[in-house]
Each structure stands twice: as structure tokens, then as C-alpha cells.
Structure 1
Amino acid sequence: MNDKKICVFCGSSDGNDSQITQAAIHLGELFAQRNITLVYGAAKIGVMGTIAKTMLDNNGSVIGIIPQFLKKKEVVHLGLTELITTQNMHERKLQMQEVSDGFIALPGGFGTLEELFEIITWLQLGLHTKPIGLLNVNGFYDDLLKMIETMVRKGFLSMKNYEMLLVDTSIENLLQKMEDFRTPRVPKWLKPERT
């Protein structure tokens, strides 16, 4: 995934687990070393701000994307390589999808989960073909992964679609999985034609 643009979904709060902060710093350092451009939600606070600051401190490139109405509420990072302002949240996510070569979710709250599930739904429906990773720092996403396994067990999600979500506890391993990712040929609802 070197020389790519990767969108990172994560919290605008710091949380209370220092391992998450350390993971954010490590991710920022690794992105900068590999010339990976960070695409994110443009805040200078929380886990979001930690990654952006680490990137900029290591001469990395950072693209922030934020809707106009949040510029008044969030603490916007004004020192980014590029700042894109959108009209609304949907346009923000569409811009993130269009400019990015892949996506990684770090720990966060409702917003992080909403972004993760929308982008993986778009992959499931064949609206894009980009890899999506989940960095499971210190077991943060263990319960969510159990819930997704329940979706499979109860027949609401196919195993093939579950496996579209690339999961690891190591950012290096996760990036390798994203590099190796091959898009499934048959998206949800589309069945191969019988000959």
C-alpha cells in the first residue's frame, strides 16, 4: 500500500486506553515512512488529531475532509496538506471514498462505526473495489466481531461478505492484507448468469 491514499476512520475523542493512542502514533509514523497519504475527518483533537499530528511531524501528507456545519463545532486542523470542505456528511463520505485507495477503522464511537459500515456496504454492493481494514487494538472490536459472526450464523450475512472486512491487531499485517486484497467477483444481489 505504499504511495497510496488511505482513509482512516477513528474517534474525535482520545478515549482512555493508552494503547489506542500508541497505535494511532505508530500508524501515522508508518504511513509517513511508506509515503501513504492520510485521508481523514480533518479534526486536530482526539485519535484523529493524534494521527494527523504524527503524520505532519514526520513530513507526511494529510488530506482532511469536513462538512461545513462541523467546522463550527469541531476543532479543525488548519495545518493540513489539503483541507476539503463539503456541504454535508454524505458528500464528505463520498469524497473520502473517491480520493482514497483503501480504508482503515481504528477505535472510535458511533461516527466511526457508521463510516465503517457504510463503506463496507458499498463494497458489498459493488460500488467500489477498495480494501477495508479493521485495526483491533487491545481487543477493542472483539465484541463487534462476535456480533458480525452472529449475523453470519443467523443467515443475515454471507461468510464471503464477512471476509471482505480485513481484521488484524498489527498495522503492518493489516496493510499487507490490504495489499493482497482481491475484490470478490459477485457483489450482493447480483447472481452469475446461467449458461
Structure 2
Amino acid sequence: MNICVFLSAADLHERYTGPAREFAGLLAKGGHTLVWGGSDAGLMKVVADAAQAAGGRLLGVSVDFLSHKARPDTDEMVVTKDLAERKAQMLARADAIVVMVGGTGTLDEATEILELKKHGLHTKPVVLLNTAGFYDGLKQQFRRMDEEGFLPLPLTDLVFFAEDGVSALAYLEEVAGIR
């Protein structure tokens, strides 16, 4: 399975890099391909390093203005003209999506995917990996949207909140029925 991971390219604290490294290792050991933003910096590098070290396949999707930061030793690297095309390529090449910790770019990617899913334009499973409670506030907001009728689908049909990499991968493999 190709698992798209949206996440930060920033250098982050071990409370984020450790669980990201663990998830990437599990992903690779499970025989899955990492589809990610292609960067060889920060948390993106941590995830790519861990997946590659565990024997996983790397499929990077970079963007032209960041191509100088692209990882050189991937199995496949695609360079797109802009961020919108990058997101579209990542989604097209993925069987499932995991959103890890990140900033505004990661939040943009997560909300666009959920909006597409809400309208039936995207049916792949989506997991928000809530490392160190990073997405607790967003989870609370989504629950409120669900309870107050802002979502046309139940929240559980849109996204699964996983507290760790083991439960994220288990959801994708078992609950979502993807191998």
C-alpha cells in the first residue's frame, strides 16, 4: 500500500521525531511505500531515513521552488510546478493518508483532503496521528462541528484520530481493509 504522509519539514523536538521515526519504520516493515513531500530536511528527513533504513520504498513529490531540498536517494521523485499540483500528485499516488505534526501547510493539506472526502471526491482512509496530543484542539473542534451539524458525514467517516503509529497502521491495515 502507498501511504501518503503529510508532515512538517521543520527540525522538531524528539517528542515528535521519535514517534514519527517509529511510524515510518512500521510502515516500511509492513511492506508499504512512503509517499511524502520529498524533502531531505527536518521531520520529512527523519521519516524518509527511518522508512529507508527499514527497507521501505520512498516516493517523493517535491515542488519546483523546493527542489533544491529534495532527497537525492529515493526510489522515485516527482517535481511539480506548484503546491496544488503537489497535493494532487500525492493524493493520486496514495492508497491512504496519514497527517502527522506540522504547521500551516500540513493543516492546509489535512483540511483539503477532509473537504474532498466530505463531498465524496476522495474515499481513501485518513488518519490524524495525534502525537503528544498535538491535534487535541483540532479533534475538539471537529467534534463540535460534528455535534452541531456542520459536517454532512459523521466525523468517524471522515477521519480516524490515532494516538500512536501502531494504532494508525492497524487502522489502515485492519479497519480500512488495506494491505
Same fold (TM over 0.5): yes
1:162 Cα shift?
A: 5.1
Coordinate RMSD, CA, aligned:
1.6
Equivalent of residue 45 in structure 1, options 23, 41, 59:
41
> After TM superposition, which residue ranges in structure 1, 4 or more long, deviate above 3 angstroms?
none
CA contact (8 A) 1:166 1:178 kept: no
Cα deviation code 1:17-62 (max 9, x no counterpart):
x121111110111111111100000001111110001111222100
Higher helix share: 2
1:158 Cα shift?
A: 4.3
Q: Which consecutive residues of structure 2, in runs of 5 or more, have no partner in the other structure?
A: none
Report % sequence identity: 32
Corresponding residue for 1:14? Answer: 11
1:33 aligns with 2:35: no
Corresponding residue for 2:176? Answer: 181
Cα deviation code 1:132-190 (max 9, x no counterpart):
001111111111111212222443224614542111112222222223238xxxxxxxx
CA contact (8 A) 2:60 2:78 kept: yes
CA contact (8 A) 1:37 1:62 kept: yes
Q: Max radius of gyration: which structure?
A: 1
Q: What number of residue pairs does the alignment pair up?
A: 176
Q: Which consecutive residues of structure 1, in runs of 5 or more, have no partner in the other structure?
A: 183-195
* Distance in 2 of aligned mates of 1:5 and 1:67: 19
Secondary structure, aligned partner of 2:12: coil
Counterparts of residues 37-116 of structure 1 (less than 5 Å): 37-72=33-68, 75-116=69-110
CA contact (8 A) 1:152 1:162 kept: no
Equivalent of residue 124 in structure 2, options 120, 130, 151:
130
Counterpart residue identity of residue 45, structure 1: A
1:120 Cα shift?
A: 1.5
TM-score by length of 2: 0.91
CA contact (8 A) 1:124 1:161 kept: no
Secondary structure, aligned partner of 1:107: coil
TM-score by length of 1: 0.84
